[in-house]
């Protein structure tokens, strides 16, 4: 039986981040029970709260951190918080009076996570950026694309989500565990460029151990060899082939009646081009569904390249519960991406739908002891 108690229940998180990286991190924490309160200045209201896909299970309030009364409210919240997540440029939080040095004085157990593009120090620390820029500096973008072609922008935000948001969540959880042992909070410095560089173990190994500089579209895992590539089928759809291990390559060659190709899996020059030509011609003679049916029982690494509607209807995606349907109180049924982490003793649910801008401001203030009149005064003064 799944337990309804979430592993992060009772963990209070203040989320000052915006856009995608920070909210993705706080979504992970919120999905597993953390009480996440997003705080944004009213001046961002026209931009909305961000993508519904990462805003579930959180509350949202408005607060002007430049106003003395806004700081007072924030200090009250921070005094009782376990985690603070922010995505300002280095130095901004300190200038606002809400940096880690200021807040740890009143709450030494506070775990403070700063999530930025290039980190808190170094020659790039003050630069602005987006996912494409962090991947550029990390070498990921330069390695992505076809041989002799330009760099290709990935379809998903690798630096924002994996290098940034996920690493921030890992750092926070590590700090929570350490606080259980020491009683002390700590500061966490997460850089999306750092995280992107750390995602290069294969390429780094080729360079350091193999003595070669990996080129775009010119390595074992980026399309240099026919056994690990993509192919177009008869109906204009594509399949992916990952017959990297010898046993998979042998099985494929036997199936296609070309056992003579078996010794040349990683051949260079004319032989490589011959095999590429054969596979391209062969896969173009049948449709993608026909190839899936024909090869499904063959023990090779093989797949169909899907578009987004196909992904969301795919039987494996559906079976794994990766699409969560939720009935929003005002918008009706909406779809959300479910957590990828599956645990035997923990269930997942949408406790709180994606909030509207400032939806919980008054609720939070009333919980802090503010009366109706005081809240109206805060509105008039531009504090909330």
Select from 185, 184, 45 the least CA-distant residue to 113: 185
pLDDT of residue 369: 96
Task: Write the CB contacts of 374 (distance below 8 Å, at least 6 apart in sequence).
Answer: 365
30/13 Cα distance (integer angstroms): 9
Whether residue 381 is predicted with pLDDT greater than 90 in this model: the reply is: yes
Distances in whole angstroms, Cα of residue 64 to Cα of each of 67, 209, 377: 6, 53, 14
pLDDT of residue 347: 83
- Specify the residue for token string 């290098």: 163
Whether residue 262 is predicted with pLDDT greater than 50 in this model: the reply is: yes
| pLDDT digit string, tens, across residues 73-82 | 999 999 999 9
Q: Which CATH superfamily is domain 228-313 in?
A: formyl-coa transferase, domain 3 (3.30.1540.10)
Architecture of domain 12-198+320-380: 3-Layer(aba) Sandwich (3.40)
pLDDT category at 366 given cuts 50, 70, 90 is very high
Distances in whole angstroms, Cα of residue 225 to Cα of each of 100, 249, 273: 50, 12, 9
DSSP states along 273-321: HHHHHHHHHHHTTS-HHHHHHHHTTSSS-EEEE--HHHHHH-HHHHHTT
Per the CB < 8 A criterion, the answer to whether 18 and 42 are in contact is no
* Per annotation, catalytic residue among 130, 189, 314, 377: 130
Active-site residue flag, 160: yes
Whether residue 117 is predicted with pLDDT greater than 60 in this model: the reply is: yes
Per the CB < 8 A criterion, the answer to whether 41 and 18 are in contact is no
Q: Which contiguous run of DSSP H or E holds residue 231?
A: strand 228-232
pLDDT of residue 1: 38
Average pLDDT over residues 175-191: 98
For the chain, give every domain's residue range.
12-198+320-380, 228-313
| pLDDT digit string, tens, across residues 274-333 | 999 999 999 999 999 999 999 988 889 999 999 999 999 999 999 999 999 888 888 888
Whether residue 341 is predicted with pLDDT greater than 80 in this model: the reply is: yes
Q: Do domains 12-198+320-380 and 228-313 have the same CATH topology?
A: no
Active-site residue flag, 130: yes
DSSP states along 246-257: HHHHHHHHHHTT
**DSSP 8-state code for residue 264:** G
**Count of CB atoms within 10 A of residue 61's CB?**
22
* Per annotation, catalytic residue among 82, 131, 160, 194: 160
């Amino acid at each position: 039986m799944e337990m309804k108690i979430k592993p992060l229940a009772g963990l209070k998180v203040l989320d000052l981040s915006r856009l995608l990286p920070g909210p993705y991190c706080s979504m992970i924490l919120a999905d597993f029970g953390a009480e996440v309160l997003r705080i944004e200045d009213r001046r961002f209201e026209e931009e909305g709260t961000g993508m519904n896909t990462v805003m579930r299970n959180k509350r949202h309030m408005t607060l002007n951190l430049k106003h003395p009364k806004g700081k007072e409210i924030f200090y009250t919240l921070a005094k009782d918080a376990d985690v603070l997540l922010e995505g300002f440029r280095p130095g901004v939080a300190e200038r606002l009076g809400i940096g880690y040095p200021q807040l740890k004085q009143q709450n030494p157990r506070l775990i403070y996570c700063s999530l930025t593009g290039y980190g808190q120090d170094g020659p790039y620390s003050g630069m602005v950026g987006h996912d494409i820029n962090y991947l550029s500096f990390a070498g990921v973008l330069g390695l992505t694309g076809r041989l002799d072609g330009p760099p290709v922008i990935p379809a998903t935000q690798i630096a924002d989500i994996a290098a940034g948001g996920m690493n921030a969540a890992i750092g926070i959880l590590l700090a929570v565990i350490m606080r259980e042992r020491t009683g002390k909070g700590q500061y966490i410095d997460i850089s999306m460029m750092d995280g992107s560089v750390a995602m290069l173990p294969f390429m780094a190994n080729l360079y350091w151990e193999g003595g070669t500089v990996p080129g775009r579209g010119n390595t074992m895992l980026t399309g240099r060899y026919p056994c690990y590539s993509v192919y177009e089928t008869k109906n204009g759809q594509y399949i992916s082939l990952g017959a990297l291990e010898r046993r998979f390559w042998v099985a494929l060659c036997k199936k296609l009646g070309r056992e003579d190709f078996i010794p040349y899996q990683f051949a260079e020059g004319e032989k490589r081009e011959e095999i590429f030509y054969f596979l391209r011609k062969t896969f173009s003679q049948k449709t993608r569904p026909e190839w899936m049916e024909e090869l499904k029982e063959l023990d090779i690494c093989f797949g169909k390249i899907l578009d987004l509607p196909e992904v969301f209807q795919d039987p494996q995606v559906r079976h794994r519960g990766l699409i969560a349907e939720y009935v929003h109180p005002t918008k009706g049924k909406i779809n959300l991406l479910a957590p990828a982490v599956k645990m035997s003793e923990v269930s997942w649910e949408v406790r709180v739908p994606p909030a509207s801008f400032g939806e919980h401001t008054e609720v939070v203030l009333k919980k802090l002891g503010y009366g109706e009149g005081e809240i109206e005064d805060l509105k008039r003064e531009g504090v909330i």
